[in-house]
Amino acid sequence: MRWFKRIALTLVAIVVLLLGIGLILPSTFKVQRSIDVSAAPDKIYPLIADPREWKKWSAWNARDPAMKIAYSGPPAGSGAKWTWESASEGKGEMTFTAAVPNQRVDYALYFPDFDMRSAGEMKLEPSGQGTRVTWTNQGDVGTNPINRYFAQAMDRLVGPDFETGLKNLKALAERSST
């Protein structure tokens, strides 16, 4: 019986310690990746400003070709929106909140399963003979200590998907600009 109490107290202490550490971890995250594309901004912009085009280059759509997608609002630019439901990628919605042709698209992301919101940007800047595309997403997971651990891992979890998506976008834009 004494060993049971020790094990129980040890487990409680570990949980309290982990929750305490979670409370002092930062609640914010930022994921950012860039790639140089040998294409003009006017060849890339239509691929990022129209949510229907994202399924051609996004890593998430490639992982689940059966993903259910619905579009609303204008076809491209500010106000364009898409929602998805997927067995492997979950539920979510992305709304383009601002768009400057051939320069950038800002978006708001929402994942209802986690009640998580974030904001992002796809930015196009001249670079050598082409365009530098920078994809950023950032947010705040709030006060939940478990979510704060998740925020610390966000770059490792989402960064590779950004890299894959940008490589696919590069290939698509360079193919269409020849």
User: pLDDT per position in the chain (178 positions), as tens?
Assistant: 788 788 887 887 787 777 776 677 888 999 999 999 999 999 999 999 999 999 999 998 888 888 899 999 999 999 999 999 998 888 999 999 999 999 999 999 999 988 889 999 999 999 988 999 999 999 998 888 888 888 888 999 999 999 999 999 999 999 976 6
Task: Collapse the DSSP code of 154 into the 3-class scheme (helix H, G, I; strand E, B; otherwise coil) and give the result.
Answer: helix
Q: What is the pLDDT of residues 120-135, one digit of tens each?
A: 999 999 998 899 999 9
Dist CA 149 CA 97 (whole Å): 28
Contact 106, 96 (CB under 8 A): yes
Identify the CA nearest to 145 among candidates 10, 13, 27: 27
Q: What are the residues facing 81 on neighbouring strands?
A: 72, 95
Cβ neighbourhood burial of 158 (10 Å; 0-12, 13-18, 19+) = middle
* For helices 145-176 and 2-24, angle between their N-to-C axes, nearest 10 degrees: 50
Q: What is the pLDDT of residues 81-95, one digit of tens each?
A: 999 999 888 899 999
Contact 68, 84 (CB under 8 A): yes
